[in-house]
């Protein structure tokens, strides 16, 4: 990690060198991976301050559109490792049509830190549409029917898709 003790160049060098640690080597051996076919990469993206909300969504494509399973929390409170051990995220499920229009949206459980993490019907519609469009773009490239997307609402409650990956 970057601190006053480690420079950016030292940190990048350490990431690239980690592909040849004993642990990495043994893992490749165990899984039968060819050592000289492994490549290291670094993803850099902007850091956000003053997040209104953050979350993770699983988008599962159906014949009619997609099902959404969304877990969200206020501010930048982590969903998986919250600093507040009693923090409970908001869990919702929804369904969109083939154009990304929200057909249904049900709150399964509410966050214990704020009444509504996704603050309005308009914001739910926008979030559902953005999640669907991002997952659809990934599906076009990866040809997979389930995607895991991380998102946030910035301080102005704009939807930002942070990253996505197939499941």
34-48, 110-124, 132-146: segment of lowest average pLDDT = 34-48
What's the predicted TM-score (pTM) here? 0.76
> Class for domain 53-166, per CATH?
alpha beta
3-state SS, the chain, equals CCCCCCCHHHHHHHHHHHHHCHHHHHHHHHHCCCHHHCCCCCCCCCCCCCCCEEEEEEEEECCCEEEEEEEEEECCCCCCCCCCCCCCCEEEEEEEECCCCEEEEEEEECCCCCCCCCCCHHHHHHHHHHHHHHHHHHHHHHCCCEEEEEEEECCCCCEEEEEEEEC
pLDDT single digits (tens) 60-82: 999 999 999 999 999 888 887 77
- Residue 1 confidence (pLDDT): 47
Mean per-residue pLDDT, 97-110:
95
- Residue 116 confidence (pLDDT): 84
Q: Identify which has the larger pLDDT, 19 or 83.
A: 19
- Residue 64 confidence (pLDDT): 95
- Residue 98 confidence (pLDDT): 96
pLDDT single digits (tens) 134-164: 999 999 999 999 999 999 999 999 999 999 9
Q: In the chain, which segments carry CATH 3.30.470?
A: 53-166
- Residue 82 confidence (pLDDT): 77
């Amino acid at each position: 990690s970057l601190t006053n003790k480690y420079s950016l160049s030292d940190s990048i060098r350490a990431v690239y060198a980690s592909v040849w640690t004993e642990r990495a080597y043994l893992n490749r051996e165990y899984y039968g991976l060819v050592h000289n076919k492994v490549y290291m990469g670094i993803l850099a993206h902007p850091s956000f301050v003053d997040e209104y909300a953050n979350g993770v969504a699983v988008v599962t494509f159906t014949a009619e559109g997609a099902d959404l399973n969304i877990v969200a929390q206020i501010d930048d409170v982590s969903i998986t490792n919250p600093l507040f051990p009693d923090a409970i995220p908001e869990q919702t499920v929804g369904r969109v049509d083939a154009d990304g229009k929200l057909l249904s949206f049900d709150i399964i459980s509410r966050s214990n830190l704020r009444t509504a993490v996704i603050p309005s019907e308009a914001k739910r519609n926008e979030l559902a549409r953005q999640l669907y469009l991002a997952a659809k773009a990934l599906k076009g490239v990866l040809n997979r029917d389930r995607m895991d997307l991380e998102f946030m609402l910035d301080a102005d409650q704009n939807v930002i898709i942070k990253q996505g990956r197939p499941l």
